Structure 1
């Protein structure tokens, strides 16, 4: 092939890519989910209260007659601990490894357990320094598929994902359209909203690649009334599904592995509202914020947002005397 022809083909391919990139993605589907089962992925910063929120939400959904499956996708494997009174579930990854060594197959009863109508399991993860957490998530879902995940009959499947980690395994539900909706859990602090903003960015990115996942909304946990999380939700264009107050009774009961999302309990109406809002919330396409806009939600006295970037100079990087070293370059006189 001649150089001219190769150049022509290259330019033609470039123009085709530009034309494809110019097309806007289709609007996010806002009608009833096509599938009977709603699969919802919940993301948030580690320690923000995803597991607390999901345990109580899943319990409330089950108490209203829904068939619910809760899957912990956090390597800490703490999603189901509150649901089961602090007891740890055998994880799918650990069980699969043990069964493989014994030449046996994993059965549903080995990894899935239930309480008051809620079915729950943990994917698990590798030991510290001995593997990739994201790869563990992918392996866990491969095992679920072998167990018949796509044929299971549930009203809701809730997936608990760590939002701090942005590798492929943790982005699986968004990247592969494994869920219809995403929920972000945050609080009135910069770090949790930074994670929530990253999740919104991931949803937007995969929408541009042809994905269909949208964000149903945000749960504000440990709400102290300062309003930054609600301001974030408004700015990116997603609703607040519920705000769980920062209250000593909630903190104490959660620490003691007590379910508070019970219809007859003090906090029952709160989780009933969350369940209702979540079930009816359409998946929307968020508009993530820039770093400056995110910091702008907070008082500069809290974030240091009034700091000005001052460029460094060569003199800052090494002593000035070192900059005046004599040159070793040989210069010849011209004739």
Structure 2
């Protein structure tokens, strides 16, 4: 199109509408990488992140770890079992006292890792997803977008589907997502749901991709590896089901120390997490997901037998008078 030729308003609008969206990035930004880690509750996200962030810091990276799980257990391993004041709880107390919350109130350090917990409401007293949204609003007021970290790692619960827990994906708050799973159906179901969420928002113009999967408590049966292959995402690390790892983690000890038995595994994980590009996943159907497991494991030989009203009433359906009004023929 010749730029020197004047266009009327209609032509200008048509030309603007013809411009396609920016291409989806195939590699993470060289600036701060914000990475959201999702997985089923109890699958080992916090264990993975505490050790990953520790190893990154030992390699000279500036790392901020943010727990976005209402259990507020992301940082407990990092701090040897110590609980940290959460942003939501601290913000509420400061507000009642008429004081402003500061970074020093909620962010703490250990061996180069900066860490904080968003927190959440007590059971029955509020929405966890809304708590996440409030927590990030507070982070923005504290200057989140001005902080100079190499990596920001977000620990998100994957088996809660309300909006707040999908915030990084829905609002392009992170460049990439990592899923943590194991060789069990429920954790892979959650991982598949996260991939589905990423794909959904990609279709709406989002840019977040899945960088890969961490297999935790890997017993070698291969279902998680099969899922990753089918979903088109790489396996970033396989952490074995090992008694020493379990024992050390239960005692709130970091296993990812340079020069130790498990150091090389987490060193490689740190490299893979940093370099893995965000990709567009291929979520599995329910049948395909079940197909990763043997039929005797997931009960696919069971036939669904429809129930009847007689079944529901114990064999006899009580007759109820009709409320229909019938008029005699005139």
TM-score (norm 1): 0.87
Out of 20, 25, 30, the residue aligned to residue 29 of structure 1 is 25
Residue equivalent to 1:119: 114
Residue equivalent to 1:97: 92
Out of 201, 221, 231, the residue aligned to residue 206 of structure 1 is 201
Residue equivalent to 2:5: none
Range with bigger deviation, 271-280 or 311-320? 311-320
Out of 137, 148, 157, the residue aligned to residue 152 of structure 2 is 157
Residue equivalent to 2:272: 277
CA distance in 1, matches of 2:175, 2:316: 63
CA distance 1:322–1:99, change in 2 (3 Å):
closer
Q: How far does residue 31 in structure 1 lie from its aligned partner after superposition? A: 2.8
Equivalent residue runs for 1:1-335 within 5 Å: 28-33=24-29, 36-318=31-313, 322=317
RMSD across aligned positions (CA): 2.2
Q: How far does residue 312 in structure 1 lie from its aligned partner after superposition? A: 3.3
CA distance in 2, matches of 1:77, 1:65: 26
**How many residues end up aligned between the 2 structures?**
311
CA distance in 1, matches of 2:148, 2:23: 29
Q: Deviations over 1:265-304 (max 9, x none)?
A: 1100000111111111000111111111111110111111
Structure 1 gap ranges (5+): 1-19
SS at match of 1:59: helix
Q: How far does residue 313 in structure 1 lie from its aligned partner after superposition? A: 4.0
**8 Å contact kept, 2:28–2:175:** no
Structure 2 gap ranges (5+): 1-16
Q: How far does residue 32 in structure 1 lie from its aligned partner after superposition? A: 4.2
Q: How far does residue 141 in structure 1 lie from its aligned partner after superposition? A: 0.5
CA distance 1:225–1:287, change in 2 (3 Å):
same
CA distance 1:81–1:32, change in 2 (3 Å):
closer
SS at match of 1:171: helix
Q: Deviations over 1:9-53 (max 9, x none)?
A: xxxxxxxxxxx9xxx9986421342x6000000000000000000
Q: How far does residue 333 in structure 1 lie from its aligned partner after superposition? A: 8.6
CA distance in 1, matches of 2:271, 2:83: 29
**8 Å contact kept, 2:28–2:278:** no
CA distance in 2, matches of 1:324, 1:143: 60
CA distance in 1, matches of 2:291, 2:24: 28
CA distance in 2, matches of 1:286, 1:165: 20
SS at match of 1:129: coil
**8 Å contact kept, 1:45–1:163:** yes
**8 Å contact kept, 2:27–2:276:** no
CA distance in 1, matches of 2:318, 2:23: 58
Q: How far does residue 321 in structure 1 lie from its aligned partner after superposition? A: 5.6
Residue equivalent to 1:14: none
CA distance 1:151–1:329, change in 2 (3 Å):
closer
CA distance in 1, matches of 2:148, 2:230: 37
Q: How far does residue 315 in structure 1 lie from its aligned partner after superposition? A: 4.5
Range with bigger deviation, 122-131 or 242-251? 122-131
CA distance 1:302–1:333, change in 2 (3 Å):
same
